[in-house]
Structure 1
Amino acid sequence: MPTEVLLVEDSPGDVRLTQEAFREANIAIKLHVAEDGVEAMEFLRREGVHADAPRPDLILLDLNLPRMDGREVLALIKADDKLKSIPTVILTTSEAEADIVKSYHLQANCYLSKPVELEVFEGLVKSINEFWLTRAKLPKVWQIT
């Protein structure tokens, strides 16, 4: 079964780089993309065109997004009993201490700053795969009984 990853990212260049890096790191990953926070929540709640969306095993969330920023998305995810157990990794250009503190306060599972160098960015995505999708144990069934 594929590993479902939701990438919430508005930069087409970063989307393309992430897709290519995951393709090289792990062909079993199915990467879904939401271009803004509103679309991300529609995907996660299976609304509208996303009615058949799979539940992601991991969310990679940018902070600086149009329509609804990543901080709001993170707060909604972690406040929702059906979504809060999905590991959510902040993947953003911001290195501001306030963003780091706020993200962890909102229960982000990890905060990573996007490097500007292509090779370093690819290495970061590969390390996300190595840790979150290879070494970390994620539940196969998300329902709590």
Structure 2
Amino acid sequence: MSVETDEKHKTIFLVEDNKADIRLIEEALKNSTVPHQVIVVRNGMDAMAYLRQEGEYANASRPDLILLDLNLPRKDGREVLAEIKADPKLKSIPVVVLTTSSNEEDISQSYELHVNCYITKSRNLSQLFTIVKGIEDFWLKTVTLPSA
């Protein structure tokens, strides 16, 4: 992928424990026209360590966008979302919940915790690619994201 000099390289922080979903999301982003990198962690504890630049993540770059699954090991996605939005240094990073849950309680709780948007993952490959393309078009091409 070539990085154009007039466009900032975007960092997408994917917090997802399902290996198949990680692979599919990365595959869906492969044809992106936006220069980007995808950073993946597979549990909530590592997500917060990365965002707070702790331990092995001391030199981690601030992501432009967080894609967050709710059902994570070690620290639930709801807890991660609450910690991000309560932290003055992190709360301006847009968070998109991307999860298989269509539970009304999960949706309501996520918005109460100030998620930027909530998207239910499709198990249909074509629909999942369409969802990821929509995320890319809106969050990486249309909106103006805060700088670090």
SS in structure 2 of the partner of residue 42 of structure 1: helix
2:86 corresponds, among 72, 79, 93, to 79
Unaligned runs of 5+ in 1: none
Aligned match of 2:127: 120
Distance, in Å, in 1 between the alignment partners of 2:132 and 2:59 is 27
Distance, in Å, in 2 between the alignment partners of 1:118 and 1:7 is 18
Q: Does 1:61 align with 2:75?
A: no
Distance, in Å, in 2 between the alignment partners of 1:57 and 1:126 is 16
Aligned match of 2:22: 15
Residue 26 of structure 1 deviates from its aligned partner by: 3.4
Q: Give the TM-score, by structure 1 length.
A: 0.95
Aligned match of 1:50: 57
Q: Does 1:5 align with 2:7?
A: no
SS in structure 1 of the partner of residue 47 of structure 2: helix
Residue 25 of structure 1 deviates from its aligned partner by: 2.3
**Matched residue pairs, number?**
141
Alpha-carbon RMSD: 0.9
Q: Give the TM-score, by structure 2 length.
A: 0.93
SS in structure 2 of the partner of residue 68 of structure 1: coil
Distance, in Å, in 2 between the alignment partners of 1:97 and 1:58 is 24
Distance, in Å, in 2 between the alignment partners of 1:104 and 1:76 is 14
Unaligned runs of 5+ in 2: 1-7
